[in-house]
Amino acid sequence: MAASTTTIGLGITCASNLFTHNSKLSRPSHSPFAVKMAVSVDEKKKTFTLKKSEEAFNIAKELMPGGVNSPVRAFKSVGGQPIIIDSVKGSHMWDIDGNEYIDYVGSWGPAIIGHADDEVLAALAETMKKGTSFGAPCLLENTLAEMVISAVPSIEMVRFVNSGTEACMGVLRLARAFTGRQKILKFEGCYHGHADPFLVKAGSGVATLGLPDSPGVPKAATADTLTAPYNDLETVKALFEANKGEIAAIILEPVVGNSGFIQPNPGFLEALREITKANDSLLIFDEVMTGFRLAYGGAQEYFKITPDLTTLGKIIGGGLPVGAYGGRRDIMEMVAPAGPMYQAGTLSGNPLAMTAGIHTLKRLMQPGSYQHLDKITSVLTQGIIDAGKKAGHAICGGYISGMFGFFFTDGPVYNFEDAKKSDVAKFGRFYRKMLEEGVYFAPSQFEAGFTSLAHTDDDIQQTIAAAEKVLREI
């Protein structure tokens, strides 16, 4: 997409300039967040450049490890210059060089109704008038808790935290406290945050850097973590047989998003439910990514499998930091102060995250929301796969609702080992050229993509046309 050069006077010196947005997507002038500034715009179109992003990133590398605050943003697995984002609106984003992109990352999932939604921003502005954090109970916590409990089949009580990692830390401690057992079983390529017990064969977060596991994790922290290939029931059964009466829980992404997009085989989730029940173990769905995305009630509603405990994040905060874990009342009543299992957080349940979550979920409840996600994601995914095959590439992929992925391999892809057969060098070339065409995918072959209610048919067709062009070129 073409971009325009903008010079902005803010009374400060900044390494990057801002730019004007497409008028259809720009923030309204009456926005409560509008900042009065003097702007002069050179309307002459320019070619794709990342000069300002490069300058800013070079400075960032002197200030922060690798120049980023989360590793995948550094483009290590795709090569090239990371882009520095200036602003987002709807389904689009703009970098500090003035380049415009159709966005399929959505802040890694939260932006399911689109970025910087006017209703959410207005609600946040009203909430901020009362304060940003109380460190005490507020009514908004009750409202969002009621919405989550009514939506997610497994959740009878919920505890809000500040991130998906924190949610998974809490739910692991709770599962061990409730069962009196120490061992957990996770699946290779499933990511449950960066807590020590989970950094074993943890998928994209580690695969992106080409590291086997993270240094600094004591052997003792992972000694009770068992792993099995995703979709491999025989290994699961063998592990339960070899560790009789010792496994507290199975935890998994019901649809994997951190090895790329990988669906469960028919009967896989049902069998895990049966195995855990037969062994008095708990079944935990990590729905930080799939919650409120595959369906309003998450993957458990979509697949009609009810776990004992569930973790959530991303969407329930509407773009603000949030996490949650919840489940059966008898288990959740072990959490302090109702019970002895301790967990706490300074900003947990803060009014801003609760407000953004409430208004995001209200939008998702409107008729046709998930039908729209299903329609556009189907067309997008099939369009990219068809274009790849027509150009002679090995490619496969899939989608459910507003979540999708594709691999540069013939497939099928059932687990992380299958995903690693992908041509990652080719994905890197594809990725960099798609940036030049104004399309922003996740900068790793091993990450799922996301659509939103803000994506239009035009967005999808432009993306497919760009993919057709790039796949012919590479």
3-class DSSP assignment, residue 399: strand
Exposure string (b/e) for 432-449, b if CB count within 10 Å is 16 or more? bbbbbbbbbbbbbbbbbb
Give rounded-to-5 percent helix, strand, coil for the chain: 35, 20, 45
* Residues sharing a CB contact under 8 Å with residue 470, sequence separation 6 or more, in sequence order: 430, 433, 434, 437
Q: Residue 248: name the closest of 190, 197, 306 by CA.
A: 197
Q: Which of 89, 201, 314, 433 is catalytic?
A: 314
CB 1 within 8 A of CB 438: yes
3-class DSSP assignment, residue 349: coil
Half-sphere exposure of 13 (CA within 13 A, CB side): 0
3-class DSSP assignment, residue 223: coil
DSSP string, 9-49: E-SS--SS---PPPTTTSPPTT-TT----EEEEEEEEE---
458 is annotated as an active-site residue: no
CA distance 12 to 279: 63
Cis peptide leading into 218, omega within 30 of 0? no
Q: Which residue has the tokens 């995903």?
A: 419
CA distance 112 to 313: 12
Is the Cα dihedral 311, 320, 257, 363 positive or negative?
positive
Q: Which of 86, 95, 103, 286 is catalytic?
A: 286
CA distance 395 to 474: 13
- The answer for 393, left when phi > 0, alpha when psi is -120 to 50, beta otherwise, is beta
45 is annotated as an active-site residue: no
DSSP string, 129-182: TT-S--SS--HHHHHHHHHHHHH-TT-SEEEEESSHHHHHHHHHHHHHHHH---
CA distance 182 to 281: 11
Q: Which of 101, 191, 431, 440 is catalytic?
A: 191
What tokens were used for 40?
């002069």
What tokens were used for 238?
């063998």
95 is annotated as an active-site residue: no
Residues recognised as catalytic: 191, 286, 314
